Structure 1
Amino acid sequence: MFKIGGKIELELTDNQMTYQYTSKIVDYKHDHLHIQFPLNQTTQKTSVLHDGTMLQAYYYADGQIYKFITEVTGKDYQTNLPLMLLKVPDQARIQKVQRRDFVRVDAAVDVAVHPAYQEKQPFTTISTDISGGGLAAILPAGHELYQGDKVVCWCVLRLNNGNPSYVKANGEIKRLFCDDRTNHQKASIHFLNVSPSDQQKIIQFCFDRERYYRQMK
């Protein structure tokens, strides 16, 4: 499951504060991941975590996300690049985030919607929420969409590094409704086909946004 060069994210909770780190896997042997010293996502500085530190780990592979609890068990200074060792739990303790468990977050993402039928006009709009499995978007006046219509969505995601990332998703209009709070017409779009790399970007965006909201509370 673990691949050399794969990305891993770590969460440390200390005194009700949560700190996020990212790193890359350099080696995997003897039930331990050997990773680069992690980068603190707030300070953008390399961090040295003490042995015995317990962490929530997220690992992304083939468009899927896995999570597990791990412990820092040591350091390896024998290589040119200092490494940190993480204990990998039994397979039964590694959770695969199922599609129904995709995190849905409130987010105004720029979206270009192209109906599958060419006689229907494409339009640009913003989402009101998004997850790895779909999104809700505000509909413009005079739209031509109906429940069951197939569409192609191009979304612009702003990741933590500030750079835009463009993802494409084929979807289906599952519901058309009016938001009672804003009086906006909206469409609930279910993703039918998303490339693993694009879905991973969406999942990453949602987890980043969720963590941001959690820190703001």
Structure 2
Amino acid sequence: MYPKINDYLYIQIASSDTEEAEIEYKSRIAETEDQSFLIEIPIQEKGGKLKKLFMGDELSVYFVSEGGIKNYFYTHVIGFKEDVIRMIRINKPAEESIFKVQRRSFLRVNAELELAAKSESGTRFLVRTDDVGGGGTSFLTDNNIKLEVGNKLICWLLIPYRNGSTEHVYFEGEVVRIKPLESGKNLAMLKFASISDGERQKIIRYCFERQFDFRNR
């Protein structure tokens, strides 16, 4: 489904500047066209600063539909329209490229990411993830790393984004399952026991980017 006139869009702008890429702006759809949306000038919710956009700027966008479902898509600036207010014309994505993320259901993607962990006993180890999502992650371990279901871990996950920036995501996890593999390794499945909304959003953004890339191969 597409957003409608007067719906709010929450926007991040692709930038090699990490701080800029993390800022979220809010805008409103003023008009819709066959191939585009016309939106108001985005404003930073914290501080009320307006953001000037330029032709070709790439945007990561979501809007919230009924039931609190977040609908994510990528777009870019294709023009401007001068009316009573200046509006920005952004490309309307293919409807099937819009991803829905429900409140209690998080998108999960296969991903080999670097995960640093520390156990309750103080043992530290570095592993690669097998998949990751907004609710948890799984990773491969050798038998020399002793883990049991119920173990708590303090973790730092290294996340690379499409624009070249990287983030370290901090969370506390709990081992919920350990699955022996034919390769001799173990697959440890971890749920997030404690993670801030901001850190979780970083992971969801990464999952969305990965899913978008898969669909466009």
Tell me if both proteins adopt one fold, taking TM over 0.5 as the criterion.
yes
**Partner residue in 2 for 1:19:** none
CA shift at 1:99, angstroms? Answer: 2.5
Q: TM-score, normalised by structure 2?
A: 0.63
CA shift at 1:167, angstroms? Answer: 0.3
**Partner residue in 2 for 1:84:** 89
Which blocks of at least 5 consecutive residues in structure 1 are unaligned?
10-22, 48-56, 87-94
Spell out the pairing of 1:6-45 with structure 2 (5 A cutoff). Answer: 6-7=10-11, 25=25, 27-28=27-28, 33-35=39-41, 45=56
**Partner residue in 1 for 2:4:** none
Secondary structure class of the residue paired with 1:99: coil
Aligned residues: 173
Q: Does residue 1:104 correspond to 2:105, yes or no?
A: no
CA gap 1:128/1:120 in 2 versus in 1, 3 angstroms:
same
State how far apart, in whole Å, the 2-side matches of 1:192 and 1:35 are: 39
2:134 counterpart (118, 132, 135): 132
Q: How far does the alpha carbon of each residue in 1:149-197 deviate from its partner, in whole angstroms, 9 at most, with x for none? A: 11111000001111211101111000011133x4321210001221111
Q: Which amino acid aligns with 1:34?
A: E
8 Å Cα contact 2:39-2:87 kept in structure 1: no
CA gap 1:120/1:161 in 2 versus in 1, 3 angstroms:
same
**Partner residue in 1 for 2:188:** 187
Report sequence identity in percent. Answer: 22
Q: Which amino acid aligns with 2:203?
A: I
CA gap 1:82/1:168 in 2 versus in 1, 3 angstroms:
same
State how far apart, in whole Å, the 2-side matches of 1:68 and 1:164 are: 20
Secondary structure class of the residue paired with 1:138: strand
8 Å Cα contact 2:39-2:88 kept in structure 1: no
Secondary structure class of the residue paired with 1:145: coil
Which blocks of at least 5 consecutive residues in structure 2 are unaligned?
1-6, 14-22, 32-37, 43-51, 74-78, 92-99
CA shift at 1:27, angstroms? Answer: 4.1
**Partner residue in 1 for 2:180:** 178
State how far apart, in whole Å, the 2-side matches of 1:114 and 1:187 are: 14
8 Å Cα contact 1:155-1:168 kept in structure 2: yes
State how far apart, in whole Å, the 2-side matches of 1:68 and 1:150 are: 32
**Partner residue in 2 for 1:209:** 210
Q: TM-score, normalised by structure 1?
A: 0.63
CA shift at 1:139, angstroms? Answer: 1.3
**Partner residue in 1 for 2:117:** 113
State how far apart, in whole Å, the 2-side matches of 1:161 and 1:153 are: 24
Secondary structure class of the residue paired with 1:141: coil
Q: Which amino acid aligns with 1:28?
A: R
CA gap 1:76/1:203 in 2 versus in 1, 3 angstroms:
same
**Partner residue in 1 for 2:198:** 197
CA shift at 1:34, angstroms? Answer: 2.0
Secondary structure class of the residue paired with 2:216: helix
CA gap 1:184/1:176 in 2 versus in 1, 3 angstroms:
same
Q: Which amino acid aligns with 1:179?
A: L
